[in-house]
A and B are shown apart, each in its own frame.
Chain A
Amino acid sequence: MTKVSMTVNGKTVSGDVEGRTLLSGFLRENLNLTGTHVGCDTAQCGACVVHVNGEAVKSCNMLALEADGADVGTIEGQANQDGSLNVIQQAFQDHHGLQCGFCTPGMVMSAAALLKENPRPTEVEVRKYLEGNLCRCTGYHNIVKAIMAASGQDVSSIAAE
């Protein structure tokens, strides 16, 4: 067991982990931050996406030890200070961008990273960026629409929601 410390959603946390403990496991099991989901074992689905030092990262594809000292953001830290949904979260609700909700934390975290680097992405850019995020429920229509809406674009001409 090795001690690991990091900042998660602005709080300093630490815990004892094995060398093989994944960041996703550390967040879920040690910190009980179960909003980060695990949907695969081949780093393909994106349900586990978190931010590490501002970058979108698949937390199932990173060892907890590798995140030692890092600044980590998870879905639990995304809402506004007053607890209301942030712009992206609100757009997902407004445009029905989620059904079962299992892919949703990863989608929201990926969307945030996308909008940071590309504040007004086109449909094609959104779809390309989400390549690493699988959703089995929505057929992606409302996810793409929600992300475009969150970027301030008028999505009313996109087929019904």
Chain B
Amino acid sequence: MSEVTAAGETLTATNIMRRGRRPRFDVKHQPGFGFMAVLCVLMLYGPIVLLVTYSFNQNPSITIWTSFSFDWYVKAYHNEQIRDAAFLSLKIAFFASLASTCAATMAAIATTRVKPYRGLTLAYTIINQPLMVPEIVTGIATLVFFALIKQMTGIYGLGYLITAHIVFCIPFAYMPIRARLEDMDLTYETAAADLYATPWQTFKRITFPMMIPGILGGAMLAFVISLDDVVITVLVSGPGEETFPLYMIGAIRRGVTPELNAVATAFLCLSALLVTVFFLVTRKKKE
């Protein structure tokens, strides 16, 4: 122990010279820290690396590596079922992120750009609560509710699934937009009013353009969440409405093939791309 302390103190001394502040407790120098860190990273990314690697395996067996090939990607690409599922997922995610972002934008403005009023906290809670409700509960509730409507109106179709996605995407879209608005100093809007902008002009020329990174971030997040959803989708989807994740689950039941690896890898890349864009647009710019 004494050695560790001594090492820690030496490091602290150099820190003082370098940065002029003294960390009290440096977790990086606790025994076992390095081991734990490596273990966690392995647990998190090991399986994914394996999945990606085997998607390039020529051998149809998913445990024996033979040689590198793009065969499974080509095969997946020509699989009619996969293409339909992917297209359906993208379509739902597109409408869901679009509509939920609109609703979330309005909600964010109504909860940050107003004088605090009674019930404002309640409004926050109502908007965010769906994140706390177990998804299975929401799913079953939605299923029952939609069944009732279907029975009463006789109308069927994809609209139900899209509506369900819009609803559960709203809180996800709301968070980055609200964060952005709270970061934005009210002085900008005050300055616009000072320069003869009416409230509507202020919104159009100042508030809205400045919140665009938040809106893009919210839309991106909603898109990824919609693409990835299983629980609610399983319950609400009608006959023939097989989204991408549902197809994959079904395919696994029929047996795991490297084709599935390829499909999952492609899906991973799309998500990673969207998340990267999300970070880039919501990243705080240095002033």
A binds B: no
User: Which residues of A pack against B, CB within 8 Å?
Assistant: none
